[in-house]
Structure 1
Amino acid sequence: MESVKKRLAEFSVEAHDLYLNRSVPYLEEPPDPLHFYRDWIGPNKPCIIRNAFSHWPALSRWTPDYLREKVGSKVISVAVTPNGYADAVNGDRFVMPEERRMSFSSVLDIIEGKVQKQGVFYVQKQCSNLLDELPELTDDVEPHVSWMSNALGKLPDAVNFWLGEASAVTSMHKDHYENLYCVISGEKNFILLPPTDRPFIPYGMYQPAVYHQRDDGEFEVVDQSDSEKVPWIPLDPLDPDLDRFPQYRHAQPVHCSVKAGEMLFLPSLWFHHVQQSHGCIAVNFWYDMEYDIKYNYFQLLETLSGST
């Protein structure tokens, strides 16, 4: 077992030495599809692309006044938590947010400070919520990113809309998507770890539960007792408990800030943790990853990491 652990550590060091960047590089213009596949998607490396959607009307239009006029009366799904952590480990539970149906205007009232509410509010429902819940806004963006769709030979599986308070945090996780994350206003701060750092990232199995706000305003945690346990990462990369998770000291996280008008390419299977400026608006495109030998290798790495 010790020899496997040693080889896994060497595996990560090799990746950092051979091809991974110490910071997230910038591209100054939208890339050619073939070059993008060859330089970024194939090698599974992140980058930030400038001037990739400068033609979108959303960049100048999406003010609170415009959004109120366009979609203010639309009822959308909003994640509500006591502490800003939706889909995150809390004690011995994996706790999901209370999903609340609210008008878009009432969300803006909270974000602009016009109304005081207990809890932290975040429009973060995925499953293509931009197309499904806010189709009136789709003319201000694009239904897909043409050079990415050409590079992958397919259209995105989902186009998601994000809007939230500064205290809304996305806990560390990974996705099976090639992700283009476009910041329309404000700023998103990412902590990224490559799949090859998996041996240093702790997982546990947790009873799923959801937050529920009682009539007195306090939040309680309600178990989903009929659901199977969920594997999740208990570590907070903002304040890692190295006594509890000593292996994390070998991880090499990369920090990047994605500003308005910038697009992050977040490759499939990269671990990421996200914070944002208050009222930040973003749109992202999820393209399903290829379940090829890279995925096969990662599954092997995942199994070996979990058994050491």
Structure 2
Amino acid sequence: MAEESVIPAAKIREGFTALAREARELYLDAEVAELTSVPDPLSFYREFVSPNKPVVIRGGLDWPALTVWTPQYLRCKAGRLPVSVAVTPNGYADAVNGNNFVMPEERRMILAEFLDIIEQPDSANGVFYIQKQNSNFTEEFDDIIGDAGRDISWATEAFGKSPDAVNFWMGDGRAVTSLHKDHYENLYCVVSGWKKFILIAPTDLPFVPYDIYKPAHYKELKGEFVIQQLDEMPEVPWIPVDPLNPDMERYPEFAHTLCYEVTVNAGDILYLPSLWFHHVRQSHGCIAVNYWYDMEFDIKYNYFKFVEKLAEVQETHSKKVPPRTTMKDSTVS
């Protein structure tokens, strides 16, 4: 019986390097593209959605929210609305802490109470952030949704579908979203303040490490936050690298990624394509609304999953560690 042939790990790595290099040479831009006016749906789809490329539309929003969503207005119009708030000791929700993947403590409070904390952060213990991605804008903010919208009309026409979810974001400047990817076409609209994104293309997937973590969540007990493991939940594959301060000694392959940086200001829209890795920071009290349109699970997705599996096999053989099984999608942005 003939021996089974095995492709050397070095050859797989050569292929990954060629994939990233050719993507940068053939279709990716040196910087995130910018437009100064809203594109027509066909141009948007041809130039950005189809090639899976991000773009910022500067001043692309014309919502009343840009001028009316002051703290005073929000108190008056929606102050009694109950909202879901994520609370952490350090601003990192849904992120790696030691051997754990730690989710925030979720609390319910009225919007006016949340605004009190944002205006005086030292009045409460922890970092507070409205970040629940269950289409909370349509489910919890009906009193002010008319100041923005249930969709982005030109994007809805381009995608040929309505958003799966519309999410409202507001929080502490210390809140950080760890590096992750989503299976959604994302239209991210900043209403006030700014968001800073670090983006990594899907073709750099082989250089983005994943480890396996025990699921846990934060819980404040007697004024101190503790990490409580969730033994009934399965382990979580997650990216351990902080792109702001990557540990290149532990994760040397991350040095081969190309990190794009872009700031999205009030009135701007970022089109964040599906499967792009992203890390997010924000100004204090920043308000944003994002629209998640389901991606097309077409041949590009098939190729992505093939590269993902190859990267997993290479990692398993080179490190002699158990396979990560599946790089699960994040629930944060």
Task: Give TM-score scaled by structure 1 length.
Answer: 0.98
Tell me what 2:24 maps to: 16
Structure 2 counterpart of 1:130, which letter? F
Pairing 1:248–2:254 present: yes
Question: 1:121 and 2:128 equivalent?
Answer: yes
In structure 1, the partner of 2:289 is 283
Specify which of 196, 201, 205 is matched with residue 203 of structure 2: 196
Aligned to 2:37: 29
CA distance in 2, matches of 1:22, 1:89: 30
- Which position in structure 2 is the counterpart of 1:52? 60
- Name the counterpart of 1:239: 245
Alignment of 1:41-80 (within 5 A): 41-54=49-62, 56-80=63-87
2:213 to 188, 194, 206: 206
State the distance in 1 between where 2:19 and 2:166 align. 34
Structure 1 residues 263 and 218, CA, compared in 2 at 3 Å: closer, same or farther?
A: same
Deviations 1:164-212 (A, max 9, x none): 0010000000000000000000000000000001011000111100100
Q: 2:184 aligns with which of 173, 177, 196?
A: 177
User: Which secondary structure does the structure 2 equivalent of 1:66 belong to?
Assistant: helix
Deviation at 1:53, TM superposition (A): 1.7
Alignment of 1:79-158 (within 5 A): 79-113=86-120, 116-158=123-165
Percent pairwise identity: 55
Structure 1 residue 114 displacement after superposition: 7.1
Letter in 2 for 1:40: F
SS in 2 for 1:14: helix
Q: Secondary structure at the match of 1:135?
A: coil
Report the secondary structure of 2:37's partner residue. coil
Deviation at 1:52, TM superposition (A): 2.2
Q: 1:39 aligns with which of 36, 43, 47?
A: 47
Q: Name the SS of the counterpart of 1:136 in structure 2.
A: coil
Q: Distance in 1 between matches of 2:59 and 2:20?
A: 33
Alpha-carbon distance in 2 for matches of 1:252, 1:290:
25
Q: Which is greater in Rg?
A: 2
Letter in 1 for 2:304: F
Change in 2 beyond 3 A, CA 1:180/1:142? same
User: Which amino acid in 1 is paired with 2:212?
Assistant: M
| DSSP-derived class of the 1:17 partner | helix
Q: Does 1:3 align with 2:5?
A: no
Quote the residue 2:320 is aligned against.
none
1:51 positional shift:
3.1
User: For residues 45 and 32 of structure 1, what CA distance do their matches in structure 2 show?
Assistant: 16
C-alpha displacement of 1:127: 1.4
In structure 1, stretches of 5+ residues that fail to align are none
Aligned: 1:301 with 2:312? no
The 4+ residue runs of structure 1 with deviation greater than 3 A are none
How large is the Cα RMSD of the aligned pairs?
0.9
Matched residue type, 1:179: N
**Post-superposition offset of 1:155:** 0.4
- What are the superposed Cα offsets for residues 67-114 of structure 1, whole Å, 9 maximum, x if unpaired? 000111111100000110000011000000000111111111111117
CA shift at 1:5, angstroms? 1.1
1:109–1:115 contact (8 Å) kept in structure 2: no
> How many aligned residue pairs are there?
306
